[in-house]
Amino acid sequence: MKRRSWFACAVLAGVGLSVSLAIAQWDSYDEDFGRRGRGRRGGYGENEYETGRFTSPRDRGGVPTWETDPEFKHDVFTFVRVAYGSWRDGGRYAKWRTDYPDSDLNFSYRLAELTSMKVDPDGKIVRLTDPELFDYPFVYLIEPGEMTLEEDEVVALRRYLLNGGFLMVDDFWGEREWENLYGEMKRVFPDREPQELPLEHEIFHCVYDLQEKPQIPSINHYWSGEKTERWDATEAHYRAIFDDTQRIMVIICHNTDLGDGWEREGLDSGYFREYSEKWAYPLGINIVTYAMTH
């Protein structure tokens, strides 16, 4: 993996940023941009998936943009989403674009707003076989319950992670989807087992001090009064795959949906207060901070 100033990008201005300060900023922002997060889809067709010619989001939906210094374009944090195939659709259109683009745009904005990281306003989509994968230290993969990796993707992901990369897996529910993801990760690391992270692990405390491992439902389940999306998904699990130095290479967020907490922040003030502000953004910031400093 290329050596760049990723660590410098990740140093926070006052790691002890108070939650009260963050809430004050969010209050102001929510009043101005509270109509964001209505589940829009930028969308990509099958041909775009096959060619890998993904472009920036066509519509920011009210999310502000900002400029980054062109002289340091390789020294900004970029939220990178992984595109993959699934068994249900024959490897073409898959669930990898769930919550896109709102979750990626909103999270990038909040990361720039609440930390001193220099952040790309648009983010990026890559396939695991893209050579530029190794230009980015953090990648995000969503809804892997039906994901099937090609053999060259397995090899590329293993190489990426062992060379310092970090993968965040999010938004899949129940035992069937867990078994699918587990099987795919065992292809990547046959000799490594995912381990449940205790609440005491630093990833839950490195910026925001979380007092529980949150379960974040989609906004539709929230509206139905539910905290889970499946009968066999009553408890959120945060599991990790470690390298030989005990660095987390993969964090697996199971039976929870941080992405919806980012995507839907402007749709319902109750959901925003209970899940976006309280859990989804703080934990997301913690995870990125850990990834960028280890």
CB atoms inside a 10 Å sphere around CB 116: 13
Give the domain ranges of the chain. Answer: 6-293
Q: What pTM does this model have? A: 0.87
Q: What is the pLDDT of residues 144-174, one digit of tens each?
A: 999 999 999 999 999 999 999 999 999 999 9
The confidence score (pLDDT) of residue 38 equals 46
Q: What is the C-alpha separation between 246 and 219, in angstroms, rounded?
A: 35
Average per-residue pLDDT for the chain:
85
Q: Which of 21-25, 45-49, 117-121, 184-188 has the lowest mean pLDDT?
A: 21-25
- Residue 192, Cβ neighbours under 10 Å: how many? 16
Segment 194-211 shows an average pLDDT of 98
Q: 204-244, pLDDT tens digit by residue?
A: 999 999 999 999 999 999 999 999 999 999 999 999 999 99
What pLDDT is stored for residue 32 in this prediction? 43
In terms of DSSP H, where are the helices of 60-143? 102-114
> What residues contact 264, with CB distance under 8 A and at least 6 apart?
37, 38, 39, 102, 218, 219, 271, 272, 276
Lowest mean pLDDT among 5-14, 29-38, 154-163, 165-174: 5-14
Long-range contacts of 203-207 (CB under 8 A, 24+ apart): 203/238, 203/248, 203/251, 203/286, 203/287, 203/290, 204/283, 204/286, 205/286, 206/15, 206/286, 206/289, 206/290, 206/293, 207/12, 207/15, 207/17, 207/115, 207/282, 207/285, 207/286, 207/289
* Model pLDDT, residue 50: 57
Per CATH, the number for 6-293 is 3.40.50.12140
Is the pLDDT score of 7 beyond 50? no
